[in-house]
A and B are shown apart, each in its own frame.
Chain A
Amino acid sequence: MSNPHSNSSFTLEAQTPLNGFNQSFDGIQVSELLGHSLVSMAMPEDKKSALAENIKAAYKTDLPEVGKFTISAIDNMRILGLQQEQCFVLFENEAVYKNGNAVSHIQEKTKDAAYLSDQSDSWAMLKISGENAISALERVCPINLQPTSDPSSFDTFSVTRTSMEYLGVIIMQLSKQGAENEYLLFSPRSSADSFLHMILTSIENVS
């Protein structure tokens, strides 16, 4: 051992971006999404079909189109189609989250067909739901969240990045049509406080 001074008596404690925020308002519930890992998955054009096969084999689901996400019961996983050549893989696996080995966990499934990068610590993640969620979100979100017959409408399984009050935000629609509105919102971790403030102000302004 060339590290004679090493001392593992130091331990690091993890914190979440929003300290586990969880609150209910009139017709709106807001809570931090906890225990989820996020991995960006870049897809080289010539390996896309291999990747799709690998994903199908491991997760029994497809790669999404841009603007949509696919789901798998395994690891409660969602693949978010954010870009033509890049997806985000969001999944819930307590051990993986704790160990911080999200990339190797996914790599086992994707093999060499994708380039992965850990994003688990890059985002503040909020779940917002309830009958008044849309009223609050329409104060900041330029995306049309109202259910419409339009093919381009932002309905179930939709995901996109947009900007809200000068913050970059990834928004996903979780609920089934007709059910209670439920959304996931991701925004960069360093501005987590501004992000939460933006959402809470919107709720305060409408409830």
Chain B
Amino acid sequence: MSQQNRLNKDKSSGFIDRDKTIHFNFNGEQFEGYQGDTLASALLANDQKLVARSFKYHRPRGIFTAGSEEPNALMHLRTGAYQEPNVRATVAELFEGLEARSQNHRGSLKHDLMAINDFLSPFLTAGFYYKTFMWPKAFWEKLYEPIIRQSAGLGELSGQEDPDKYDKGFLHCDILIIGAGPSGLAAALAAAQAGSRVILADEDFVMGGRLNNETYQVNEMHGAAWAKATLAELASMDNVRLMKRTTVLGAYDHGIYSALERKTDHLSASDIAYNGNKPRQVLWRIYSKRAILSAGSTERPIAFPNNDRPGVMLAGAVRTYANRYDVAVGQNVSIFTNNDDGWRTASDLVAKGVTVQAVIDSRDIHPVAEIAGASIEMGAHVIDTKGRHALQSIQLSNGKTYDTDCLAVSGGWNPNVQLSCHHRGRPQWNEDILSFVPSGDGSGGLPPEMHIAGAANGHLDLSSALSSGYELAKSLSKELGNASKVGGCPKAESESIANSAFWFVKTDTKSRSWLDFQNDVTTKDVRLAQQEGFTAVEHVKRYTTLGMATDQGKTSNIPAMAVMADNEGKTIPEVGTTIFRPPYTPVSIAAYAGRSRGKEFRPTRLTPSHRWAKEQGAEFVEVGAWMRAQWFSKDGETHWRESVDREVTQTRNSVGICDVSTLGKIDIQGRDAGEFLNRVYCNTFSTLKVGMVRYGLMLREDGFAMDDGTTARLGEHHYLMTTTTANAVGVSRHLEFCRQCLWPDLDVHVISATEQYAQYSVAGPNARKLLQKIVDPEFDISNEAFPFMACGDITVCGGTAARLFRISFSGELAYEIAVPTRYGYSMMKTLMQAGEEFDAVIYGTEALSVMRIEKGHAAGNELTGQTTAHNLGMGRMVSKKKDSIGNIMSERPNLIKEDANRLVGFVPVDKSEKLSAGAHFIQKGKSAITENDEGWMSSVAFSPSLGHSIGIGFIKSGHQRMGEIVTASNLLQGKEIDVEIVSAHFIDPDGERLRV
């Protein structure tokens, strides 16, 4: 029979739409439910009591709650790459075609082969892993770890890439209200009417909280109807944002909250596609001036032997299924309570026409109410249950036994204090409600500007919940200057919430009473942990894993503390609480990644000639966020070296062109610009003539080299600095620091010009000839008029403004020409066209690197942050005639000692050998151990100009050891090569080519 547990239509709550039948599949079987159902309510409607196996003992388990606190009913949802494990059936909305599978069993759910663990339970107690998998050591990798890995975890990941999209976002409000139950709704209405900008977030797909689950009256109408009307009013207001399906996950600094909105989790695949494959979830960062935590409360169970059978449920959940979902979770329900609220379940069920078998109250008092047809057992408690896959009977302390298919248990209600503890706030014990409430405002570590309303603050009765939310919102709005007239406080009858401290049924040591259903922790485990010396609450938690499952102990923490207190003869507040941390409920990692996946992980920066390089078949390499052309393969070239060798040879023989736009360019202006540069570079710049360029070395304050580059003087008060590609951002930051924090009295201003210019290196003996074809004739760039290290404003191609710098990284006659970026693509094409007659070549970063190694120029491999000007052979550049960053510290005796490492060149003695970067230098005949280490090879290349491998590197007193043969030892490659120490200037050591 389909949906045999559904109540008659005339008892309908209005929350499910009986005209919209939904088909779904659970463990391969087809079922039907209605629009408005959760997976849990639909399964219960179809009398599916057994839905899961427990983590450790593989005990049969059923749905235990009706909310996000659910410890048992975790499922795989959807299939294939979309499969998601550990979805709580109690919050998963039913949609057409939903496919769910139970998890954590081998074989079928009913006949789980791992159920043997339950019989082995005497051995699988607390600390089992710590005690068992200790020795022998050799067993760990081969035996223990595979076993543990196979048994660990509940659901399974699909193993495929998550095909869903995720997004993030930022929201701002005056007052964030967390939870749209009675107190949250009352608060939202008052705050919105007062004129505050309100965000009301609730994890449920229908707002209203317990008003939708109960039969309360508010303002003389049904509570659910009042909620609906209030929501309609809020929705019509411009200053309110209603966010259902949105869980506030964490409280961060200064009023920032994170929240996850589930956008499409409730839709079928075809509906998602129909709506344009929008992101599945959005992770919001909410900036609030004030926050009201109105997260309600969660019912706690009572521990008694075999309290984990399918059919044992929280009493509030049982009446939620009846009142909201029109589902009778049993035909023959019994209630076990220690408080008055449990009786509501009995009366609500009777009103819905469900048979109540017995009401068992641990208190020896007068019965709270008359429950038609039910036996009333006062001062009694449940001492055992029976039924293998579903509850069949319960046994009472007074010797009576009842046949029953559902036991609704109520141990009282715990305020949902979690978010109030995210700044390490410790909740306080409240003896009236026998639970913890958030510590008072202004003390005990509440997140600043968080205020607590309603049941979350211990106002468990409806009337005070409503008024606490209302009053709080009114006064907070006033604080924020929003004082428009607010309507009256919603009114409700006060109901009785009397309760008692009855936490668990004392038993012999053999029987097991469950505390943490998800991690299978029993009262016995807690006792054992304490016997073994783990008495502190944080130790018990970790030793037993209590409260460490995905539900973070929402239903188990307080009962477990009661057990600890009893064992130790303490009170519960003396036992203390554990710390709650975000997130409030589990979040998929993909939501935290948002869009930042794969290629979207970070922005990509493209050079002005990128499109052209792509057309030429360039191989690209990522340099920071930049994509740079590494080399350009021509037809017939089968190895990258062939391309690079050709690019180098053609450049050195004629002319080559390279996009160097990625170098950082910083425009520096001001009356004190020269003085400023004197202070940030170790060498002098104030003496540089206008129209000239100088190489500069920048030190850190600790005396080590930070960055290098050329700086051009464009005018009396105007310089243009270049930085390495990698350090462009860092140097800008450093210059701003120097300008603002160190020398605020200097008149100097900086701005990045990196993006403004497309800059190309034109290098080789024919460089000038090529440029003369495009530089407009009124600009004389002859050697005499425009010598080495000159710079100037020119125009090209008939009037386009450009800048020309005669600088060289390759060692050839070379220029860098800069045009506004808009002309970057066109300029590259033009240069190549103009260069056709010279057989001009385009070269990439590899050829660039080969040529700079041939010239012995330092680059990133040499400027590692661990090398000094002295190491680089530039010690004399550090001027002592002026103050500059790093000037003093670079003189530390150890940094300038005679045998410090010096940058020199290396060639293999056997020219056919290939050098390797990273090799360490050892004196010939000595063994390759740390004590004999004399330095390292930093950069190597095959020099097509010389026809063999060359390298540069650092070696002790290198400059005094020319001609010496040492061993270059690369222990990683198991390679030792004899190398000769030579000058690092392999090509044109006197720099004649630069000056022709």
Q: How far is the CB of A2 from chain B (nearest CB, A)?
A: 4
From B604, B775, B782, B823, A12 is in contact (CB under 8 Å) with: B823
Q: How far is the CB of B787 from chain A (nearest CB, A)?
A: 14
- For residues 70 through 89 of chain A, which have their beta carbon under 8 Å from a beta carbon of chain B? 85-86
> What are the residues of chain B within 8 A of A177 when measuring CB–CB?
none
Q: Which of B164-172, B323-331, B852-860, B967-975 contacts A (4 or more CB under 8 A)?
A: B164-172
Q: Is A188 among interface residues, defined by CB-CB distance under 8 A?
A: yes
Q: With A and B bound together, what is the CA distance between A205 and B167 in angstroms?
A: 8
Q: Are A205 and B667 in contact (CB under 8 A)?
A: no
Quick one: CB contact mask for A102-139 with B, threshold 8 Å, 1 for yes?
00000000000001011111110000000000000011
Interface size for B (C-beta < 8 A) is: 70
From A40, A44, A191, A194, B671 is in contact (CB under 8 Å) with: A44
Q: Are A191 and B798 in contact (CB under 8 A)?
A: no
Q: Is B410 among interface residues, defined by CB-CB distance under 8 A?
A: no
Q: Is A179 among interface residues, defined by CB-CB distance under 8 A?
A: no
Q: With A and B bound together, what is the CA distance between A16 and B755 in angstroms?
A: 13
Q: How far is the CB of A82 from chain B (nearest CB, A)?
A: 10
Quick one: CB contact mask for A16-41 with B, threshold 8 Å, 1 for yes?
11000000000000000000000010
> What are the residues of chain A within 8 A of B941 when measuring CB–CB?
none
Q: Are B797 and A10 in contact (CB under 8 A)?
A: yes
Q: Are B603 and A8 in contact (CB under 8 A)?
A: no
Q: With A and B bound together, what is the CA distance between A1 and B749 in angstroms?
A: 38
> What are the residues of chain A within 8 A of B606 when measuring CB–CB?
190-193
Q: With A and B bound together, what is the CA distance between A86 and B779 in angstroms?
A: 33
From B755, B779, B800, A122 is in contact (CB under 8 Å) with: B755
Q: Are A165 and B830 in contact (CB under 8 A)?
A: no
Q: How far is the CB of B716 from chain A (nearest CB, A)?
A: 11
| Chain B residue at smallest Cβ distance from A117 | B667
> What are the residues of chain A within 8 A of B478 when measuring CB–CB?
none
Q: With A and B bound together, what is the CA distance between A166 and B602 in angstroms?
A: 7
> What are the residues of chain A within 8 A of B781 when measuring CB–CB?
3
Q: With A and B bound together, what is the CA distance between A24 and B82 in angstroms?
A: 32
Q: How far is the CB of B781 from chain A (nearest CB, A)?
A: 7
Q: Is A94 among interface residues, defined by CB-CB distance under 8 A?
A: no
From A115, A139, A144, A191, B167 is in contact (CB under 8 Å) with: A139
Q: Is B669 among interface residues, defined by CB-CB distance under 8 A?
A: yes
> What are the residues of chain B within 8 A of A120 when measuring CB–CB?
756, 820
User: Contacts A10-B773, A142-B285 given: A122-B276 contact, CB under 8 Å?
Assistant: no
| Chain A residue at smallest Cβ distance from B170 | A142
Q: Are B821 and A189 in contact (CB under 8 A)?
A: yes
| Chain B residue at smallest Cβ distance from A141 | B170
Q: How far is the CB of B298 from chain A (nearest CB, A)?
A: 32
Q: Are A115 and B821 in contact (CB under 8 A)?
A: no
Q: With A and B bound together, what is the CA distance between A106 and B141 in angstroms?
A: 73
Q: Is B753 among interface residues, defined by CB-CB distance under 8 A?
A: yes
Q: With A and B bound together, what is the CA distance between A19 and B833 in angstroms?
A: 24
From A3, A188, A195, B775 is in contact (CB under 8 Å) with: A3
Q: Is B796 among interface residues, defined by CB-CB distance under 8 A?
A: yes
Q: With A and B bound together, what is the CA distance between A191 and B610 in angstroms?
A: 12
> What are the residues of chain B within 8 A of A139 when measuring CB–CB?
167-170, 282
Q: With A and B bound together, what is the CA distance between A22 and B338 in angstroms?
A: 68
> What are the residues of chain A within 8 A of B576 when measuring CB–CB?
none
Q: Are B197 and A148 in contact (CB under 8 A)?
A: yes
- For residues 181 through 200 of chain A, which have their beta carbon under 8 Å from a beta carbon of chain B? 188-195, 197-198
> What are the residues of chain B within 8 A of A1 when measuring CB–CB?
777-778
> What are the residues of chain A within 8 A of B785 when measuring CB–CB?
2
User: Contacts A138-B169, A201-B595 given: A42-B751 contact, CB under 8 Å?
Assistant: yes
- For residues 144 through 170 of chain B, which have their beta carbon under 8 Å from a beta carbon of chain A? 165, 167-170
Q: Are A8 and B798 in contact (CB under 8 A)?
A: yes
Q: With A and B bound together, what is the CA distance between A44 and B757 in angstroms?
A: 25
Q: Are B603 and A165 in contact (CB under 8 A)?
A: yes
Q: Is B780 among interface residues, defined by CB-CB distance under 8 A?
A: yes
Q: How far is the CB of A190 from chain B (nearest CB, A)?
A: 4
User: Contacts A15-B826, A121-B757, A188-B755 given: A6-B669 contact, CB under 8 Å?
Assistant: no
Q: Are A8 and B776 in contact (CB under 8 A)?
A: yes
Q: Is B774 among interface residues, defined by CB-CB distance under 8 A?
A: yes
User: Contacts A3-B779, A12-B826 given: A122-B756 contact, CB under 8 Å?
Assistant: yes
**Of listed B172, B285, B626, B753, residue having the most chain A CB within 10 A:** B172
> What are the residues of chain A within 8 A of B755 when measuring CB–CB?
121-123, 188-190
Q: How far is the CB of A205 from chain B (nearest CB, A)?
A: 5
Q: With A and B bound together, what is the CA distance between A117 and B673 in angstroms?
A: 15
From B596, B603, B800, A195 is in contact (CB under 8 Å) with: B603
| Chain A residue at smallest Cβ distance from B796 | A12
Q: Is B607 among interface residues, defined by CB-CB distance under 8 A?
A: yes
Q: Is B89 among interface residues, defined by CB-CB distance under 8 A?
A: no
**Of listed A1, A5, A17, A144, residue having the most chain B CB within 10 A:** A5
> What are the residues of chain B within 8 A of A12 when measuring CB–CB?
796-797, 800, 819, 823, 826-827, 830
Q: How far is the CB of A189 from chain B (nearest CB, A)?
A: 5
User: Contacts A10-B774, A100-B800 given: A86-B826 contact, CB under 8 Å?
Assistant: no
Q: Is B717 among interface residues, defined by CB-CB distance under 8 A?
A: yes
User: Contacts A3-B772, A115-B717, A141-B170 given: A121-B822 contact, CB under 8 Å?
Assistant: yes
> What are the residues of chain A within 8 A of B667 when measuring CB–CB?
40, 117
From B169, B670, B834, A10 is in contact (CB under 8 Å) with: B834
- For residues 139 through 155 of chain A, which have their beta carbon under 8 Å from a beta carbon of chain B? 139-144, 146, 148
Q: Is B278 among interface residues, defined by CB-CB distance under 8 A?
A: yes
Q: Is B694 among interface residues, defined by CB-CB distance under 8 A?
A: no
From B197, B287, B603, A167 is in contact (CB under 8 Å) with: B603
> What are the residues of chain B within 8 A of A204 when measuring CB–CB?
276
Q: With A and B bound together, what is the CA distance between A202 and B595 in angstroms?
A: 10
Q: Are B773 and A194 in contact (CB under 8 A)?
A: no
Q: With A and B bound together, what is the CA distance between A190 and B165 in angstroms?
A: 26
Q: Is A95 among interface residues, defined by CB-CB distance under 8 A?
A: no
Q: With A and B bound together, what is the CA distance between A101 and B795 in angstroms?
A: 12
What is the interface of chain B, defined by CB distance below 8 A to chain A?
Answer: 165, 167-172, 197, 276, 278-279, 282, 285, 287, 595-596, 600, 602-607, 625-626, 667, 669-671, 717-718, 747, 749, 751-757, 769, 772-782, 785, 796-798, 800-801, 819-827, 830, 833-834
28 contacting pairs across A/B (C-beta < 8 A): A2-B780, A3-B779, A6-B772, A6-B775, A6-B776, A6-B777, A10-B774, A10-B796, A10-B797, A12-B796, A12-B823, A44-B749, A101-B801, A115-B749, A117-B753, A120-B756, A122-B821, A139-B169, A139-B282, A140-B168, A140-B169, A140-B170, A189-B821, A190-B626, A190-B755, A193-B604, A205-B165, A205-B279
Beyond the given pairs A6-B773, A122-B821, A193-B604, 16 more chain A to chain B contacts, judged by CB atoms under 8 angstroms and listed by A's residue number, are A5-B773, A6-B777, A7-B773, A10-B774, A12-B797, A12-B830, A13-B826, A14-B826, A40-B751, A121-B821, A122-B755, A146-B197, A190-B606, A191-B603, A193-B606, A194-B604
What is the interface of chain A, defined by CB distance below 8 A to chain B?
Answer: 1-8, 10-17, 40, 42, 44-46, 85-86, 100-101, 115, 117-123, 138-144, 146, 148, 165-167, 188-195, 197-198, 201-202, 204-206
Query: Which 7 pairs across A and B sit closest by C-beta, in order of nearness?
Result: A42-B749, A194-B603, A115-B669, A144-B172, A122-B755, A8-B798, A6-B777
